[in-house]
Amino acid sequence: MAFAMLLALGLTVLTLALIVYRVMRPEPEVDVYSGLTGTTATVVRMAAGGSGEETTVNVGGAIQVRPRAVSSSSNLQASKTRDYRPSNLLDGDLGTAWCEGAPGPGPGEWVRLEFSRPLNLARIEIANGYQQDTERFYANGRVKTIELEYSSGATQLVDLRDALGFQAIELAVSETEWIKFTIISVYPRRTWDETALSEVRVYETADGL
């Protein structure tokens, strides 16, 4: 009987010790360059670089929709010759970009697109990095993993490729009034800390109009 009581007491002490350890142990540091697993974007069009504009209206039965508003958590301060505001994502020009302006490489920074009505989404295309030219592309950070959040509250992780051109995202939802893009991790930069995106294009199904 005494042995059974001692055994029960020992198990109780061990269980309490494990609980205390789990509560007190420090959280592991997150490597901002490690990335997270998500849906992998697909390259749909390669860009030659430069500032030539592209004006796509109807592609594969889908209609490109222009957001009514765009906002961001931060953006790099403008210089005398260029700016880095979030509206650059919508100007059709790969020679401009939104560059986040927070300290470090940018995880947690976001940009949000708002629409004038609910959309029946067909697809989203993103031009990763600063695509004015190849040198600037690799000099700045590029997004490795991005989180998309929709007005329904649904979220998804997407792994972007470290490449010039537009990348298509396989969508997690079919309808939304806004989309928020949050940087989760980045590809290391060669020169500047800031991470950039050049363009975001949102397409609606043709029967959604």
Q: Do the beta carbons of residue 183 and residue 148 sit within 8 Å?
A: no
What is the Cα–Cα distance from 38 to 55, expressed in whole angstroms? Answer: 29
What is the Cα–Cα distance from 58 to 83, expressed in whole angstroms? Answer: 29
What is the Cα–Cα distance from 147 to 183, expressed in whole angstroms? Answer: 6
What is the Cα–Cα distance from 158 to 177, expressed in whole angstroms? Answer: 20
Query: What is this structure's pTM?
Result: 0.76
CATH assignment of 39-208, given 3.40.50.1000, 2.60.120.260, 3.40.1190.20, 2.40.50.140?
2.60.120.260
- pLDDT value at residue 99: 97
For the record, the structure tokens of 9 come out as 């007491």
Q: Which residues pair with 113 in a beta bridge?
A: 70, 179
Residue range 83-139, pLDDT digits in tens: 999 999 999 999 999 999 999 889 999 999 999 999 999 999 999 999 999 999 999
For the record, the structure tokens of 113 come out as 């697109």
The angle at the Cα of 194, spanning 190 to 195, to the nearest 5 degrees, equals: 90
3-class DSSP state of 19: helix
Flag residues of the chain having pLDDT under 70: 1-38, 43-60, 208-209
Measured in degrees and rounded to the nearest 5, phi and psi for residue 43 equal -70, 125
Domain residue spans of the chain: 39-208
Q: Do the beta carbons of residue 96 and residue 159 sit within 8 Å?
A: no
**For the chain, counts of helices (H) and of strands (E):** 2, 12
Nearest by Cα to 121 from 148, 89, 90: 148
